[in-house]
Structure 1
């Protein structure tokens, strides 16, 4: 077949978001788009539990979270497990650039989120991006 969809490398996603409407929208959108949202949590401690018990392909995390800690703590734990992180935040601090594959600027649209995940999937498959989606900043992965 000439126009087949390629297999995704990103299938199982953990959403770490403390804004309930954003969390719900992301969970619904990603589920409808064929991703398996393993869990949606709003606290670092809950994210660490999911990281310990689940196989994940990506963590989608805000920087500012409920309770103690923040998204950089989630990213450090994910890195220890070899799981890439995409921050979704209105402001990604400079130190976050060493912890994640990139940052998607808030506010973002459903279309922008899908485009960002497609771009990451392309990179994870070792291919070059033709264009970085609007609102997505990619970080060096050295």
Structure 2
């Protein structure tokens, strides 16, 4: 077993609160890009879903640390519906969307405005990670937070 240097440090490197991410996106190219970006950043992509029912099943049966969701999805239900069930399970949600409606604030920690760069995605997840871990975080271009620092 590796030596732990404090509760959030492993060999001098800060341990992430978020490591397993569910991507919920109905645009195939954006979904693929997000998968690739997240894996390059060292995250485990639990699944990539384009609709509520598939996302709901993953939330129900998989270990997930964060849901990265678009608002508009294939089918009748939206990313807001996905965020509601994730919030009920205590899973934080970050919306990735062009124009988030007001009701996003009820179930998500924030939203990242599309289009975004690899750096913005990385920094937005790091900010959400800090919030989840109860730490301070820095402002991120394109990220709207729905929690008070």
**TM-score, normalising length: structure 1:** 0.93
Unmatched runs of 5 consecutive residues or more in structure 2: 6-10
Q: Distance in 1 between matches of 2:30 and 2:133?
A: 28
> Unpaired segments of 5 or more residues in structure 1?
none
**Deviating runs (4+, > 2 A) in structure 1?**
none
1:140 corresponds in structure 2 to 147
Aligned mates of 1:19, 1:107 — CA distance in 2: 13
The equivalent of 1:79 in structure 2 is: 87
Please show how residues 1-142 of structure 1 align to structure 2 within 5 Å: 4-129=12-137, 131-140=138-147
Give the drift of 1:4.
3.1
How far apart, CA to CA, are the structure 1 residues paired with 2:147 and 2:12?
30
Q: TM-score, normalised by structure 2?
A: 0.89
> RMSD across aligned C-alpha pairs, in angstroms?
1.4
Q: Deviations over 1:89-137 (max 9, x none)?
A: 00110111111000000111111000101111122221112x3100000
Q: Give the match's secondary structure for 2:48.
A: strand
SS of residue in 1 equivalent to 2:71: coil
